[in-house]
Structure 1
Amino acid sequence: MTEKKLVHVERIPVRWGDMDAMGHVNNTVYFRFMEQTRISWFGALLPRGEAWGTTGIVIANASCNFKKAINYPATVEVKMYAGAAGGSSLPTFYELAVEGQIHADGSATVVFIDMEKQKAMRIPENLRNLISKGIQ
């Protein structure tokens, strides 16, 4: 089992427009909740432009296990966990809960890229150090 550490918690209100014809939050929105949490965490780690330089991030894979429908109105609490950083990648894990009940969990592999070369790159040491410390 991958060891993981809680690094960030984001509370996101469900919008009326997040629902689909079935009357619950559309499955694509769950990925948006995970994305928003991930971007908030990276923004807290290192504010945009501070030292990112030409370093960027892309998602190599993403998954979501839907356990229970989320309905409007609600506030989703997304807990983000980080696993051990690899050479150029970072495994991330998520729990999406409403009022303490987990409605979904998921994961995404973040890959660091050189935006000029459009190729994977080793995670810069300054970011690697910040990631290992984590932030909540």
Structure 2
Amino acid sequence: MARHTYRCPLRWADMDAYGHVNNVAFLRYLEEARIDFMFRLAPGEGDASFKGGSVVARHEIDYRHQLKHRHSPVDIDLWVTKIRAASAVLAYEVKDDDLVYARASTVIVPFDFKANRPRRLTDEETAFLEKYREDEA
């Protein structure tokens, strides 16, 4: 299956006192990759996926190496590991070529903001996610 790669710029404000990217900045990087995947790529394939909204139910991050601040972007690979009726799990690697700085996952829940409650994934959303599905190793 396919993975989505997002080229994420590093910002001066992402750096901590030790000269490496602060752990909190990694959550912003994951958010940028997720937004690019769900709100740019999905609608670009001809459907209105996820425009109704979604929320994050859980994050997990394993930091593998320090990411030093620099001017070149870092790659974030994103793929789907689980699809359920009303949630999906996205997996990520923040990396340069073969060096992985962090591995992470996010549970997303489609959300109906008018009704203020979770909703089920649509058939179109499920079909889109399925194209990026890789079973967990």
Matched, 1:63 2:60: yes
In structure 2, the CA distance between the partners of 1:54 and 1:130, relative to structure 1 (3 Å rule), is closer
- The equivalent position to 1:46 in structure 2, one of 43, 46, 49, is 43
Once the 2 structures are TM-superposed, how far is the Cα of residue 95 of structure 1 from its aligned partner? 0.5
Per-residue CA deviations over 1:54-95 (Å, capped at 9, x if unaligned) read: 721100000111111111214211000102310110001110
* Residue 54 to residue 76, structure 1, CA distance change in 2 (3 Å): closer
The question of whether the paired residues in 1 share the 8 Å contact of 2:82 and 2:90 is answered with no
User: How far is the alpha carbon of 1:133 from its aligned partner?
Assistant: 2.4
Q: Which 4+ residue blocks in structure 1 deviate beyond 3 angstroms?
A: none
One-letter amino acid matched to 1:58: V
Identity across the alignment (%): 25
CA distance in 1, matches of 2:114, 2:99: 43
Tell me how far apart the structure 1 counterparts of residues 51 and 4 of structure 2 sit (CA, whole Å).
24
Report if the CA contact (8 A) 2:50-2:110 is conserved.
Answer: no
1:7 aligns to what? 3
Unmatched tracts of structure 1, length 5 or more: none
Number of residue equivalences: 129
1:54–1:116 CA contact under 8 A, matched in 2: no
Which blocks of at least 5 consecutive residues in structure 2 are unaligned? none
Corresponding residue of 2:25:
29
What is the TM-score normalised by the length of structure 2? 0.84
Please tell me the root mean square deviation across aligned C-alpha atoms, in Å. Answer: 2.0
Does the CA contact (< 8 Å) of 2:87 and 2:107 recur in 1? yes
Contact 2:5 2:76 in 1 (8 A): yes
Structure 1 contact 69–103 (Cα < 8 Å) conserved: yes
